[in-house]
Chains A and B, each alone.
Chain A
Amino acid sequence: MVKLRTWGYFADSAGKSMLRNSWMTLASIGTVAVSLLVLGVFLLVAVNVNTIAAQVESQVELTAYLGKLSVTERQALETEIKALPGVTGITFVSKDQAWERLLGWYGNDRAFLAGWEEENPLRESFEIRTDSSHRVAEVANELTGLSGVEEVLYGREIVDKLLAITRMIRLVGIVLMCGLALAAMFIIANTIRITVFARRREIGIMRFVGATDWFIRWPFVMEGLALGVVGALVSASVLAWGYYLAVRSLVRVMPFWPLVSPWPLLQHLALLLLALGAVIGIGGSTVSLRRYLDV
């Protein structure tokens, strides 16, 4: 008499149903896993782009490109910039130095630069350090107002672009995930409907011997929950494995922008996915019980 304990009975009937409808069980777990996998991928990308944006944003340097200035004008400008609040250092980069850097950056692929050696197209600039990244935008504003300064470049612009990208990624991810989660819920609801049908005799007996509505519902809720949670576990495992691979291979390709460390990021992600899987599973079975089990 294995079914003597209430929870033992619930677990037993939920487990048996899942084995009996093994194809529906697999389909349910699969759709939950796929929808959460999509969400997970989008979240991981968004987190990393955000982190890169934060790194860029935290840079304290900016570059002021100069128009045509005489040496005295330039020195006056340098004094003026040094006096600005928040500025802690300033370095002059001549046209020749800028050219050397450009050659260095492109290394051996400099063929396309040929023909420019004669008249160097680059501009003179000041590289300015500030005492904190919060000051950068403020200092940039001041610089733009100074005569002799043609253009000011700093991390902020890159950051804005990156943030626009994350917003897109997040939006696409959420829309896609919602669609897939609905599909997953629908498939779970259908699975539970089949279970309700298969167990209608047992349900009838439960009713006339005086089972409460909740007692009758529990095995179905547990089945839905199990489908959702197992699906979430599958997606979390695939994501963890994929992310480790990505971290390892991207370190070589772009060592300057390493991915966010897998720990505790993946732990948090796994918890989120498990919670969502549980919600999808319970949601699916609830929908089904409302429609097909009038208790």
Chain B
Amino acid sequence: MLELRNVTKMYPSGPVALKEVSITVTEGEFVFVVGPSGAGKTTLTKLLMCEERPTSGSIIINNFDVNKLRPKEVPLLRRSMGVVFQDFRLMPTWTVEENVAFAMVVVEVAPRHIRRRVAEVLSLVGLTNKRNQLPGQLSGGEQQRVALARAIVNQPSLVLADEPTGNLDPETSWGIVKLLLDINATGTTMLMVTHANQIVDSLRKRVIALDAGRVARDEEGGVYHG
């Protein structure tokens, strides 16, 4: 499902962001990626999204070999995953419904399917009655739910979440994490980058710790500080 072998990433300017990283994630797993600031966690998600290319090493995601991917195929790879960011990345002038539907419009799904599926995911994240509101009228947690709904609306097999609770208070964060667990329970692979040590420690999922671009630790049922 997801396999990195000896992946090194050097930015043209700046230090080596990832050094000889090898990670394998099987289908349906829930993985936390932790580590200090600058450890290379965001770089890792960018490589998986194909926003950056590895300097060396191979990456295989959902049967796409990133090194052999032609520019035309990048959108196809991205359609097979959903992404969530710390800053939500919603269109402020569109309603909740439109923000979610957009991910389907962009991949040219027929309008009648869009309506049905959008209603489905909005009820899943508990925002059915806010569907006609603008993001600015919602709380941070609600905005992140919209982003999450958008990430899963096309039924990806992998969800990448880069500090999805970074801007949220602990209680709201738990709400988001519960949703991620629900989504994971339906078989979707989940990769969550986080600094929320309490969440990591209480869930006891697989934890991959990066430090200065290297995998410092990779253990099942792990905790935030090894």
Contact = CB atoms under 8 A, between A and B. Distances in A.
Partners in one complex: yes
B75 A212 contact: yes
B105 interface: yes
Interface string B48-74: 010100000000000000000001100
B203 interface: no
Nearest to B118: A1
A3 B102 contact: yes
Interface stretch (A78-86, A198-206, A263-271): A198-206
A209 interface: yes
A205 B102 contact: yes
A201 B71 CA distance: 21
Contact of B105 (A4, A208, A213): A4
Nearest to A2: B98
A207 B103 CA distance: 10
B150 interface: yes
Interface of B: 49, 51, 71-72, 75-79, 83, 89, 91, 94-95, 97-98, 101-103, 105-108, 111, 114-115, 150, 154
B108 A6 contact: yes
B107 A209 contact: yes
A210 interface: yes
Q: Identify whether the interface residues of A are mostly helix, strand, loop, or mixed.
A: helix
Interface string A147-161: 000000000000000
A211 B107 contact: yes
Contact of B78 (A6, A204, A210): A210
A209 B103 contact: yes
Given A4-B101, A4-B115, A202 B106 contact: no
B105 A3 contact: yes
B115 A210 contact: no
A1 B98 contact: yes
B114 to A, nearest CB: 6
A211 B108 CA distance: 9
A252 interface: no
Interface in A1-54: 1, 3-6, 9
Interface residues of A, number: 19
Contacts of B107: 209-211
17 contacts: A1-B95, A3-B94, A3-B102, A6-B108, A9-B105, A205-B91, A208-B51, A209-B103, A209-B106, A209-B150, A210-B76, A210-B77, A210-B103, A211-B107, A212-B75, A213-B71, A215-B108
B105 A6 contact: yes
Listed residue (A9, A205, A208, A213) with the most chain B CB atoms within 10 angstroms of its CB: A208
B101 to A, nearest CB: 6
Contacts of B150: 209
Given A201-B91, A205-B89, A205-B91, A211 B49 contact: no
Given A1-B98, A1-B101, A202-B91, A210 B111 contact: no
Given A209-B103, A210-B106, A1 B91 contact: no
A211 B71 CA distance: 12
